[in-house]
Amino acid sequence: MFHHNAIKNSGFRADMNYEEFLKQKEIVIHDSGFNPERLNDNLFDFQKDIVAWALRKGKVALFEDTGLGKTIQQLAWADAVAKHENGRVLILAPLAVSKQTANEAHKFGVHVTLCETNADVMDGINITNYEKLHHFDTEQFCGIVLDESSILKSYSGKTTNELINRFRFTKYKLACTATPSPNDFTELGNHAEFLNVMTMNEMLSMFFINDSSNGIGWRLKGHSVSEFFKWIAEWAIMIKNPSDLGFDGSKFILPKLKIHNIVTESPPAESQLFALPAETLQERRQARKDSLENRVAEAKRIAETTDEQVLIWCNYNDESEALKKAITGSYEVKGSDTDEHKENGMIGFSENTISKLISKPSICGFGMNWQNCHKMIFCGLSDSYEQFYQAIRRCWRFGQKNEVDVYVITSEAEANILNNIKAKQDRHDLMSAEMLKTINAITKERLYNMRFEHSHYKPQEELKLPAWGIR
């Protein structure tokens, strides 16, 4: 069952040409929102046009690169919806990001109620953490905002299904996250399903082919690539810089990013003259375990040779524990900590009361704005390019005034992991460029037309023609 008002499926008639036949096959997603009368004055020009488009559409995703102001956009969207419907809007955010968003709302003149349970809910905008969703009656909300909506990536995850089901009939929906990888169809499919555009299975059957026989799995049908990107443009905006949409993006040019690769020695295995790159998953884990002491020593050296803030990333509990013991004055945030301890650490780092923060990208790698820091250390790498990218963008984002130094510490035996990350980055950049080019061509046209339609000229003085111009 399609949720987007239908695909026209009638057959070819003798009285139509081929272009007309293709035209009637297009997917049409009708607007279900409203035209706002006024938006928050703190919005930049490109943000204002995007928010106006999102309100007119009713249910959309904003896939914007980090630092482009998704917070003010979602606040302005939620404020407009709450006022238009005279109702309640809920913003769901990762842990600690909810408090950060509430603080930002105050700066922008928007009132937000920070909620722990349903008893705290007020008319207007309410915000809470994803972890607390079970405390709320979601049927009372006329609008829902998912901050860092990449949480929908987990195709069959409990949280993903709960979000889709509990907000299935919510009138207005906004999902905000960084630009997804075009290769990650599950994230795009789950966003489409959450927004009532199309289910995951419908998307797969329409645009993809299962090539499992060749070990590839689901891949875009060759003739459907362009149509797939056009379909996304019906319900999502994707930008990496305002210039993608024809706006002035000079203020959003980031300072230089400097990645320093530091390779520690790996002891050769028995019967080997020198260490060989780990190949299997088991070999990689063993190599990481063997290099722990050397990697931690390097991280300690870098962190303690500066008085500035340093963000230290790791992936395993033993790494986190060893780093905490080694680095003087550091604050550790791990999965088993209480929510209060995690929030104190993340907010403390934001406010510069904590100078050395140790955590995993899976815990602190999404949502936080840490432009106050421009040095970070990866004490080892996983194979996840997304986690690596998102962790870097906590600091390397709009508002950062310094060059950002990223120190990646791996061992000789872990060379394949570093090469894998680089390969994933190259593929991501190539496909993203193609996707953005197709989608933004459509988006620019629609934003321009919308601006043209609603820019009514109001003359202040009577037009007087010169005498020579009158016949």
Confidence of residue 377 (pLDDT cuts 50, 70, 90): very high
The stretch 144-150 carries a mean pLDDT of: 92
Place of tokens 């949280």: 159
Strand ranges across the sheet with 172-177: 112-114, 124-129, 88-93, 141-147, 172-177, 59-64, 236-239
DSSP structure class, residue 197: S
Tokens of 119: 């008893």
Amino acid at 418: L
Output the pLDDT for position 269: 60
The tens digit of pLDDT for each residue in 25-45 reads 455 677 889 999 899 999 999
Output the pLDDT for position 156: 56
Output the pLDDT for position 133: 93
Beta partners for residue 259, in sequence order: 406
Confidence of residue 451 (pLDDT cuts 50, 70, 90): low
Q: What is the CATH number of domain 254-273+280-423?
A: 3.40.50.300
The tens digit of pLDDT for each residue in 209-225 reads 877 665 556 777 777 77
The tens digit of pLDDT for each residue in 14-24 reads 555 545 544 44
Output the pLDDT for position 213: 63
Output the pLDDT for position 320: 96
The more confidently predicted of residues 424 and 459 is: 424
d(CA 397, CA 463) in angstroms, rounded, equals: 48
Burial bucket for residue 337 (CB in 10 Å: 0-12, 13-18, 19+): middle
From the list 139, 136, 138, 164, the residue with the least C-alpha distance to 149 is 164
Confidence of residue 437 (pLDDT cuts 50, 70, 90): confident
* CATH 3.40.50.300 residue window(s) in the chain: 31-197+234-251, 254-273+280-423
Is the Cβ–Cβ distance between 36 and 42 less than 8 Å? no
Tokens of 239: 């930008």
The stretch 334-339 carries a mean pLDDT of: 92
Is the Cβ–Cβ distance between 234 and 241 less than 8 Å? no
The stretch 288-317 carries a mean pLDDT of: 94
Is the Cβ–Cβ distance between 186 and 200 less than 8 Å? yes
Three-state DSSP class for 397? coil
Confidence of residue 283 (pLDDT cuts 50, 70, 90): confident
Tokens of 245: 């949409």
The answer to whether residue 456 scores a pLDDT higher than 60 is: no
Question: What does pLDDT average to over the chain?
Answer: 84
Share of the chain above pLDDT 90, in %: 49
d(CA 298, CA 305) in angstroms, rounded, equals: 11
The more confidently predicted of residues 69 and 158 is: 69
Output the pLDDT for position 179: 72
Is the Cβ–Cβ distance between 366 and 390 less than 8 Å? yes
Place of tokens 């907010």: 347
Is the Cβ–Cβ distance between 237 and 63 less than 8 Å? yes
The stretch 228-257 carries a mean pLDDT of: 90
Beta partners for residue 379, in sequence order: 409
The answer to whether residue 98 scores a pLDDT higher than 80 is: yes
Tokens of 461: 């003085």
Output the pLDDT for position 67: 84
The tens digit of pLDDT for each residue in 172-182 reads 999 998 877 66
Which positions ≥6 away from 157 have C-beta within 8 Å?
none
Output the pLDDT for position 18: 43
The stretch 335-339 carries a mean pLDDT of: 91
Confidence of residue 457 (pLDDT cuts 50, 70, 90): very low
From the list 245, 275, 221, the residue with the least C-alpha distance to 416 is 275
The answer to whether residue 324 scores a pLDDT higher than 80 is: yes
The more confidently predicted of residues 319 and 11 is: 319
The stretch 341-369 carries a mean pLDDT of: 92
The stretch 451-457 carries a mean pLDDT of: 50
* Topology (CATH) of 31-197+234-251: Rossmann fold (3.40.50)
- Give phi and psi for 163, each to the nearest 5: -65, -45
Output the pLDDT for position 31: 85
The stretch 39-61 carries a mean pLDDT of: 95
Cα-atom radius of gyration of the chain, to the nearest Å?
A: 25
Amino acid at 449: N
From the list 69, 35, 29, 85, the residue with the least C-alpha distance to 55 is 35
Other Cβ atoms less than 10 A from the Cβ of 312: the count is: 27
Share of the chain above pLDDT 70, in %: 83
Tokens of 142: 């006329």
Confidence of residue 434 (pLDDT cuts 50, 70, 90): confident
The answer to whether residue 390 scores a pLDDT higher than 90 is: no
